[in-house]
Amino acid sequence: MTTQVIVLNGGSSSGKTGIARSLQAVLPEPWLAFSIDDFVDSMPPALQESDAGLEVAADGGVSVGADFMRLEAAWMAGLAATVRAGARVVVDDVFLGGPHSQERWRGALAGLDVLWVGVRCDAAVAAEREIARGDRVRGMAEKQAETVHQGVVYDLEVDTTRTGSLDCARAIAGAVVSASS
């Protein structure tokens, strides 16, 4: 079977978005890219700082509520429908719930050929990137660097600590090509 979905999981500022963009450049066919940040940005502002939606604590901790979970499930189902309609998709996510987050994706993507990719980055490097970005609460990258990977099973892992997005994307593209052979 041919890979239809690439799921990138990593903490904030680990390099997932850069890898997704690079994958679009190196994969031989067109791929759509969707990120959890896009989903969060699409939520009503009232849910972006609410215990029913998404809350980011002053120390960078993130918690999600029932409305977030319901809307995220609909988003996941929508992305799966996009793939079932014929598109190939790269998903850039942060598994705050570790293996439970992966199981939610497995349910939504049931029957599709998925490549699960862990995007790792040293916590200190991710924290530096977070500061340089200026659009995240300090502490988020460091808190998520390892916790989002605990209990998650991958087909492939890449590490952006010292490897650029393009090289990581080439490694992932190689796995997509070999899985399709």
CA 176-147-108 angle, to 5 degrees, is 50
Residue 30: exposed, middle, or buried by beta-carbon count in 10 A (0-12, 13-18, 19+)? exposed
Alpha carbon separation from 83 to 45, 77, 100, 105, 142 (Å, rounded): 28, 10, 22, 13, 33
* 93 labelled catalytic: no
Burial level of 162, CB count in 10 A (0-12/13-18/19+)?
A: exposed
**Cα(129)–Cα(149) distance, integer angstroms:** 19
Distance of alpha carbon 131 from alpha carbon 137, whole angstroms:
9
Would you say the C-alpha torsion 46, 102, 149, 132 has a positive or negative sign? negative
Task: State the residue for tokens 């924290």.
Answer: 127
The active-site residue out of 37, 67, 155, 159 is 37
Which residues belong to the active site? 37
